[in-house]
Structure formats: C-alpha cells, structure tokens
Structure 1
C-alpha cells in the first residue's frame, strides 16, 4: 500500500513530539524523585545525628556507668524531650531489645525485615528500606567510637508521593495536550507544505502528458521554490524543443515530399523531352528518306527542305528552352541586380516584340510607370518576353495585348493580358508544369513545347516574387506578378 508524504511527515512529527515529551517527562520526574530521596536521606541522617549528639551529651554528664546509665536514661527520659517527641523513633540496645520508642501516629511497624536490619546496624552499618509510604531507617549510635544503641527512625514520604504523582499527572496532561497541539500545528503546516509538493507532482505529470500550459510555479523562498522554478524552466525548454522538432519534422516531411515530387517531375520531364524530340526527328528523317528516294522531284525537295528547316528551328527552340530551364534550376542562387529604369526596359522589349504582334494581326498597348528599381534586368526581360510570346501564340486574329507595370508601396506590380482563347479552369493549376500544354495541336502549330510558363514561374520565384493567373474561355487570360523592391 502506498503511503503519502503528508501522512509520513505528520506521523514522524507525532513520533518526535512523543519521544521528546516522554524523554523530558522521564528526565524531570526522575530528577524530582532523586531530589526527594536525597532530601529524605539527608533528613534521616540529621535526625540520627541529633539522637547521637543527645546520647553523647547525656553520657558525658553522667560520666560513669556508661552503658547502664545510658540505658536507664533512654528508658526514662529521652522521649520526654519536646524536640525529640516530634520524630517517630525507637531505640534498641546492642542485643536488639527495645529500650524506648515514640510514634506520633501510633501506626504498627510494617517492616518485615526489621530484625535483619537491626543486626546490620549492630554490625556498625546504616540501612533503610521503604515500605508503602514510610522509610524505616536503622543506624548504630556511637559514643567514643563504641556502639551503645541502635536507632530506628520512621520517615513518612506520603506528601512526597502525593507531590510526585501531581507532577506526573501534570506532565502527562500537558504532554498529551502538547502532543495534540503539535500534531494539529504539524497538520496545518504540512498541509501547505505538501500542497506545494503535490503541485509540483501534478506539474511533472502535465510535462509527461505534454500539457505544458498546466505547469504551475510554486512561489516559495526555499529549495522547493528553486525546484519549482527548475521544473518550469525544464517545461518551457522541453516545449520549445518539441516545437522545434515539430518544425524540423515538417521541414523534413516537406523536403521528402518535394524530393518525391521532383523525382516524379524529372521522370515526366525526361519522358516529355524524349517524346518532343522524337517527333521533329521523325519528321526530319522521313523527309530526308523521301528526298533520297526522289532526288529528281524538285517540288518534293523544296517541300522537304522547308519542313526540315522548320523542324530544326523547333528542335533549336526546344533545346534552348530545356537548357534555360536546366540552367535556372542549377544556378538558382545567381541573381545579378542593378538599377533599371522599368519604363525604358519595357519600352525596348515591347518595340522588339511589336513586329511579331503585327505579323499575327494583333495590337499591343502598354502602360509603364516611370520608376527606377534595383532588380535583375535579364530575368525581368525573360519573364516579359515569354508572357508576350504566349499572348501572341494563343490570341485571336484582331486580338489585343495589354501590359501594365507600376509601383505599389514597396512592390512592383506587373500584368500581361490578352483577348485570346483562354484556359480551362481545371488546367490553371498545371500550366506552370514543364511540357504541359492546354491544346497540344495549337501548341505544335505555333511551335510551343510547354516550357515557357515553367521558365517564367521559376524566374519569378528566383526574384522572390509571386505569379497568379486568371482566365476565361474565349475571353482571354491575365498573368499578374508582384516583386519586392
């Protein structure tokens, strides 16, 4: 059975109090008893000396016939003296016969060892014995170093016994009260003491259960207070470490997921590259074989040459896109910033793209704020050129392209809109994946391989920016970007 610390402390306190009270009681009562015994012994020896002195004085006055005269004096006059009649005593001769005696209470001698103790006194020794409440004292009376009589004294210690019993009862009563009071005070004190211990115990359980907000601090100016502060510090440290471990775990989980996604994308990328490269190579191979078979057919040779040239251009474009995307992923940390006048840079880009815009029977408008910022100009040019190129490829004849760029607090806002065919809602989340094309047939016709938007997103993220897309079928598409200055 488990015994609580509160019960142990109270029991220990009660035991200590009991031992202390018992020890003090025994010590004091023993002292009183010894004092009473010594006082009684001293009184008896004084009385014996008084009798012995009287015998000596009486014998000196008679001056002859010492024994006979003394014995006659004892029989006739010794207890007629007022000061001797206050002492219960008996006098015996050296043969043990009673010469004279006096008892104030007339009580019968209850000493059963009387004769033996008289014989001891005849041999010159003092002895005494306590019977009930009376001390019987036997001593030889000497005159000129000779034993001339035996003195028997009776000394009542009844009053001493009553006083001793009163003191003993007082000690028992006050000791019991002190014990009860000490236990009550101990209960009150240890209740507060153990309450703090139980608080720390509950705090430890809370730490074990991961409930760190339930850890209570005990405010005390002693070791328990220091222990409580240590528990609180340990709780906060464990909670902090657990939170950091959770963050690390989440980071690791994200990293693992990203690696898995990258592995999947890599496999898809390789598969798409293989497929995309295979198509123009097959076309080139076919036309090369036909020209070899029909080398006299000029029309076939011309048609083959034109198609082979187109497919070579397509392969070149694909290789450039793949190399750009690979280089971007490999050298992601390389950002070369410089002061750029956005209006001048965008005006130059738009003028260069204007030939292609007009060739496809489109119009392009741009509204660029005149601002100078520190940015990677080459990356910005790639982003804008790719978005304008997409807007041209997927626009409608007679369509329009709108470009806007302005400063919004500490960010640059850039948007490229077109009035083209639009993008289906289910495809909006995939358009930034390498080789993904919303309409494969139209992309092939326009020479697109599905790498432009993947490159754009990588460049935007490289510049710590964000990109969003909004699109409606047959109404157009808008790409919106923000970059920190």
Structure 2
C-alpha cells in the first residue's frame, strides 16, 4: 500500500486538480457537505439571534438614549427660562404648554403643534410616541414645571433608520459569510477528509490481511492518535495471525502424531498378528495417546474459558511457604530421575490466592524447569519480599530462551520447536496471573537458564506471618 496523491471517495477520483466542479466534489464528499451544512445552520442561527437582539435590546437601548437626550434638553430649556437667558440650539424641538396655550421654544414641527393642541396634556406620558396625520412619528418627553408643561420631541425616523441599517448589515454579513465560507470549508473539508480516507484505505487493507502499513499521517490531533492506534492494532493482529498459523501447524502435527499411532496400533490389533503380550502393550500405548489428545483438548477448552473471562477466583488465605513446599513435593520423584535438586527458599507469609489455579501456574513453571534443565543441576524455588510485593520465582540452569523469543512465550499460539506440545501451558499461566492482577515475567539467557516469576502485591493481601517455631 503506497502513498498516493490520488484518493478514491465513493468510486470518484479526487486528485490535486482542485478546480474540478464544486458540485461534483460536494456530491461525493460527505464530511465537507456536513461541515458546510453545519456552518450554514450555525450562521443562520447567529444572524437570527442578532436580529432578535437588535430588534429588542438594541432598539430599546437606542430609544432610551433618545429619551435621555430629550430629558436633558427639557431640563436645560427650563433652566434657561428660569434665568431669562436665550434658549440655545438644542437637539430636537420643544414647546411650553401653559393654560392651554402652546408656546414654541425652538423651531417646532407644525404638525405636532396641532396634535398637542387637541390633546389632553395631562394624559400624555412622560415618555411617549405621537403620530401625526401624515404618518410621521415623534418621540416626546414631558417635564412638569411651575411654568407649565415643557415638552421636547424629536422625529422617530432615525430610530427606524437605525434598525434598518442594523438589519442591512446583518444580512450583508450573512451573504458575505456564505460566499467566503463555502470555498474555505471545501478546502478545509478536503484537508480534513484526506487522512480519514487514508485511514479507510488502511482499514480495508487490514481487513484483507495486509498488515503492512506504509502510509503515515501527521495531523497532530486526534486523527493522528487514531492512526497510531490502528497501527498498533495492525501490529498486534499481525503477531496474532502469525501465532495462529504456527498454532494450527503445531496443533495439526501434535494431533496427527498420536492419531497415526492409534491407527497403526489399532490396525495391528485388528489384523491379529500380535501376541497376547504385544496386544496388551499396544492397547496401553493407545490409551496413553488418547490421554495425550484428551489433555490437549482440555487445555484448549480451559484457555478459551479463561480468555472469555469465565474464570471465577476463589481467594483464600494461604501460607506461601507451605504452598510452595506442596508444589515441590509433587516433583520429587521426577527430579530424582534426572538427579536434579529442588531447593526451596521461602518464609511463612500469608497471601490471598486461588490455590487451585496458582498450583497450575507453579506446576507449569517447575515442570518446564525440569524439562529443560540438564541432569545433575539445581532448580531454585523461592519467595522473597520486595518493595512491590512477594516475588515468587522458579530459577533453572537449563537451555534458556533466545532473546528474540522471550516476549512470545506467553502467547497462546507460540511453541518453541524444542518444547513439544502445542504451547498452551504458559498462556494458561498468563491468563490465571492476569485474573489475579499479578505482575509476572521471565528473565533468561540462552544456554544459561531461565527464571519465571510473579509478584503478589501487598495491597492484594500479602501479609507478614510470625515465623513458626
């Protein structure tokens, strides 16, 4: 899978010729289409909110400012009248109504003069709007003074023009934003979708079984993090696929061998060419091979059950020293056959474990140590206190494990050619230790020996016991 400058999207080729018709791109770029749709919705909502705010909040604010100006004018005119000084040119117009007489104080609109003449001034609000016959509207402010009612007023047209200007500006912004945003979002969408389409191609290749990823994505965001996750997944699947092929090959061989023996021995017994003693021996061999097959099937079923999370631990307080001594006793006969000394070094420490399953772990560790250790050697089984917890280990002086194979020994499908079997012992141990939440590992040098270990954390329940007399 090579890096290409051309990306296929819904069977349509999108290359670097960005001047392709926009409607064709839009038709086939779903994310770009969504980006533009969401932007249009967002800007429409924002403009609508702006219209609402300008029609209510801004208009009220602007009107309040006009009324404040009319009020200030009325107060200044009143002060001028009291001091018999000329009324200066002010914002708006003003009249003084005294004893039903209307006295213009500034250049007044004649239309509103007639309206005021016919009105009951007492019913006029302090802040009010008056509409004359020709349809003009005026904002008025009424100030009650000892001299009479002082009324300032101003044409309301600027108020309407103010709102119209705001609406025109908002509509212009809306149109300009759409004109500018569509090509911008097209290019942004294209840039955004390119790594996604790369991820799509990578996923398709992985689905086909091609785990080699040669493309790189450097977006410095969550898409790159997703790419890293997919790459890690691909590597894990590659390893698992490799282990699976090895497992099938090993399992086929290990099943075929006892089946061939069973068939050959059964044919010999059926043909009647054996003596009575040979028939008995052959029958015993058949039973042994059947037991081997049964043990392999049991292991397969057990590890499947463990990996499906069906294992339920029964935790009990166990003296680790006594537990290890019981494990060692199970191998005394086998160790004597190879003249291998089993050395136990452990203090009485109480821990919480599932004794049955942890016995399976120790059985596998010790059995492997005996299998790969030379005659006349020593195997050390110990439990020691460390800062992390109680470290239980099995150390041998056997053939060791090659450095490039150490990380693979815990996998279900791994089997070294020297080990025999189908390689399920350590994977089963791994699942049991994982369910206990114990740290575990192996230290090994080829032709020098191996140490398999696990650590029971103090927080899990490891607790000192008094040394027994």
TM-score per shorter chain, which class?
A: 0.3 to 0.5
Which structure would you say has the larger RCO, counting Cα contacts within 8 Å and 6 or more residues apart? 2
- Greater helix content: 1
Report the TM-score, using the length of structure 1 for normalisation.
0.45
Determine which structure has more spread, i.e. the larger CA radius of gyration: 1
